[in-house]
Chains A and B, each alone.
Chain A
């Protein structure tokens, strides 16, 4: 990746577009992170495992060949000392006086014969690995084992290598590797023969006789097998000319049913050679002995070595698999832990977008980029929320002050008219009526000025309406009669100010005023379906449908009232209590009008 970055700009561009394409395939950051981490971990594990497996194979091969080499070296030494021991016996016997006497004296020395046989017997008894031991002279005298076995008279000794070589070679013992010993009739065993020429010291001084020991394979096979115990490999021995001295499958080899690459072993100077290909190959470890000229070879099949390394490799693979699983789980966890706050942030942003600021703050514990982003987001939403609240508050204040302005004025016409009425009443010396009217006016004025609250109990509104109606009744003596019938249970339910009076005013000026006869106005208050209902019922001229339809229009401001029209009342009720509440009108021309004000019945008392 980093190397690529350094590449030329064009490549970078391509890479980038490719990267975006790849990243674009995933729907979430989580899967991008997961896929990336998974890919990296997987490839890292695969590479490391591959390299270590390769390495393991090599090191197992090396260790194994080093180990076997030590073993076969040891084995070669054991064989050397074994042969050494036999040579000592050969030297001891061939140089003894008794042998000289028996073989080369003109007359047969029976005492010497007896002593030699004794010696032979001791040797044969003590060593089970010696098949035959004997002395032969050119003149035909011979003594073998216990001297009782019949000698193969048909055998021409000059055809036997162990005999001729012992006579021909200058000095020292000869080793004849695996051959058949024909000298005793009826017995033709495979043996290894150690032979030594015997000089006729009393006569010619030349080699006139041969001493020989035939070794069976029990000792050598023991040496070979013991050193390969526990492994599937085996060891075999070649002589200096490449003939087999000992092989665990000698008979199979002799019958061409088994092969060893002997030429390769004889030609190489290395300690270890590999023959064959692949799994069927064999690994030869070679050790040569200077003393015997023999080569000890350990043969291990590549298959077995591979199976050893496979064992190690399967452990690697297992570890790798566990590692991959753990890292996949971990990367999933990590991806989640990174993207979860982002998702939270996204969700709460969506809510904010929809205008819902109620979502509690997004909580992120970390201090990383996403943490600070979230914190900023939180601060931002808080700020927006504050601003919005402030806005609402300001609007409300504005409305309140508007209302206050409205409330603080009592319609001047009404005031003049009332004052005029008081004057006339005073001129007519109607003291009591003057007092009543003035008191009502005073109460009205006090109420409209004094109370700063936006919301008052229904009782206040009703009292205000009563004062207003009292004054109006006095003014329109013969024209207006009123009743107030409000259920005491709703008296303390809060109601926004200046609702009832404008409706009553509207009823008087539009309904009752035009009526020929005396009009009746009833104010009713009761609970209905959990709502508080106030009704203003008049039996005035009523309204046709068109008038009714336009009753909430803004321009329909009542000049007679203090400017608070039905529109204004309706708007305030809806704003304050919601769309389910407000004023409804029912009217029939000539029969009267009913205005119904509905507000929630359950409110906290003011």
Chain B
């Protein structure tokens, strides 16, 4: 009888362990398989701006691949901090698992982000960051590196005395500051030839206007460098309109259909293109990994590439410049 009891208890223990293991495994699976809800707030959605289009495409593809639902809330104009904060508030009310955010302002969104954190919403920064280190992870281009690449390439186009002007997007924004710093570093000694830095507030028209003024102000200007899509393309439009594409070299950051066209046309001599698709994709991927409790990278540099008229039709650059949208296919 005693022996029987012993056997019985061994059987029971085995069953118990098996059962517990099964439950734990099942719970683990549930966390792993639940569809996560994410909200991404970019700086802008603009049909002409390939950077944001690619980024959002990447985010959507990653969300689909990693079983997450992603909502995009975007202001229709870049640098519209107020609108972006409204959208952020809206997103917080929806209480998603995480908010992916590309802050337009270095300081203005801090309170809202803190509120989100208090509600248990994870924050991922994409492309830019804010004054306070409130985010759980960041996926961005190393803007110093991007600026430096552009600077080094620009230096090869210039003589020792050639004047340079910079059209940046928004004063004080992290991307603008770092790209300019990198650009100066890449130029090396030639950095002393920078005559002026102007800010276009991420508007094509203002950028064009400022460029026209710069050309008048500095008749011997040899180079204009744009620090984002709006500033670069605005500057290129002005140079093209002035018929000065052979006299003034235009380099910039980010690409769009128009930028590519302008490069084919010979206005742009070089563009540093961020890997926007990769940025969006990695942003969502790492956020999902974080939410599912797996190992993830806290700081991801999505990288950038220099595009020139010589390499623009190469397979590698085409892959970067023109998104292959498989979402449309399926």
C-alpha gap A205/B321 in the complex (Å): 39
Chain B neighbourhood of A185, CB < 8 A: 261
- Sample (23) of A-B pairs whose CB atoms are under 8 Å apart: A154-B265, A160-B313, A180-B318, A180-B322, A186-B257, A188-B260, A190-B324, A217-B329, A221-B329, A248-B326, A249-B65, A250-B324, A251-B325, A251-B326, A252-B61, A252-B281, A254-B319, A255-B58, A255-B277, A255-B278, A255-B319, A256-B278, A257-B278
Give the complex CA separation of A154 and B329 in angstroms. 30
Q: Return the CB mask of B246-285 against A: 1 if under 8 Å, else 0.
A: 0000000000010011001110000000010110011001
A182 CB-CB contact with B under 8 Å: yes
Measured CA separation A159–B315 after assembly (Å)? 12
Chain A residue nearest in CB terms to B281 = A257
Residue numbers of B with Cβ under 8 A of A are 57-58, 61, 65, 257, 260-261, 264-266, 275, 277-278, 281-282, 285, 313, 315, 318-326, 329-330
Name the contact of B313 in the complex, choosing from A159, A248, A251, A256 (C-beta under 8 A). Answer: A159
Contacts of B323 in A (CB 8 A): 251
Task: Assess A182 versus B277: contact at CB under 8 Å? Given A250-B326, A251-B325.
Answer: no
A189 partner residues in chain B, CB cutoff 8 A: 322
Nearest CB of B to A127, in Å? 16
The A interface, classified by DSSP as helix, strand, loop or mixed, is loop
Task: For the complex, give the distance between the alpha carbons of A109 and B206 in Å.
Answer: 48
Q: Which residues of A contact B321 (CB under 8 A)?
A: 180, 188
CB distance from A101 to the nearest CB of B (A): 31
Known contacts A249-B326, A255-B320; 5 additional CB pairs below 8 A are A225-B330, A250-B324, A251-B61, A251-B326, A252-B281
Q: How far, in whole Å, are A304 and B191 apart by their CA atoms in the complex?
A: 57
Among A160, A180, A182, the one with the most B-chain Cβ atoms within 10 Å of its Cβ is A180
In the assembled complex, A63 has its CB within 8 A of some CB on chain B: no
Closest residue of A by beta carbon distance from B258: A186
Instruction: List residues of chain B with CB within 8 A of the CB of A180.
Output: 313, 318, 321-322
* A interface list, Cβ under 8 A from B: 152, 154-155, 159-160, 178-180, 182, 185-186, 188-190, 217-218, 221, 225, 243, 248-252, 254-257
Q: Is the CB of A218 within 8 A of B318?
A: no
Q: Would you call B322 and A188 a contact (CB within 8 A)?
A: yes
Residues of A with C-beta under 8 A to B266 = 154
Contacts A154-B265, A159-B313, A190-B322 given; does A255 touch B275 at CB 8 Å? yes
Majority SS of interface residues in chain B? Answer: helix
- Within the complex, the shortest CB–CB distance from A19 to chain B, in Å, comes to 23
In contact, B324 and A254 (Cβ under 8 angstroms): yes
Contacts of B61 in A (CB 8 A): 251-252
In the complex, A250→B322 CA distance in Å? Answer: 12
B324 with A154: CB separation less than 8 A:
no
Pair A251/B260 contact, Cβ less than 8 Å: no
A358 to chain B, nearest CB (A): 30
Q: For B277, what are the chain A residues with a Cβ–Cβ distance below 8 Å?
A: 251, 255
In the complex, which residues of chain A have a beta carbon less than 8 angstroms from the beta carbon of B320?
254-255
Point out the residues of chain B lying under 8 angstroms from A256, CB to CB: 278
Question: B326–A243 contact, CB under 8 A?
Answer: no
Across-interface contacts of B57 in A (CB, < 8 A): 251
Expressed in whole angstroms, the Cα–Cα distance for A7 and B298 within the complex equals: 66
Residue of B nearest to A27 (CB): B3
Chain A CB count within 10 A is highest, among B278, B322, B330, for B322
CA distance A495 to B320 in the complex (A): 130
Q: What separation, in Å, do the CA atoms of A189 and B326 have in the docked complex?
A: 12
How long is the Cα–Cα vector from A491 to B278 in the complex, in angstroms? 127
- Whether A257 pairs with B329 at a CB distance below 8 angstroms is no
Query: What are the 3 closest A-B residue pairs judged by CB atoms, nearest first?
Result: A254-B319, A154-B264, A251-B324
Task: Using CB atoms, name the residue of chain B closest to A154.
Answer: B264
Q: A152-B264, A257-B281 are in contact. Are A182 and B313 (CB under 8 A)?
A: yes
In the bound assembly, the distance between CA atoms of A251 and B260 in angstroms comes to: 19
Minimum CB–CB distance for A225 against chain B, Å? 8
Please report the C-alpha to C-alpha distance between residue A62 and residue B266 in the assembled complex, in whole angstroms: 57
Which residue of chain A has the shortest Cβ distance to B3 in the bound complex?
A: A31
Q: Are B282 and A257 in contact (CB under 8 A)?
A: yes
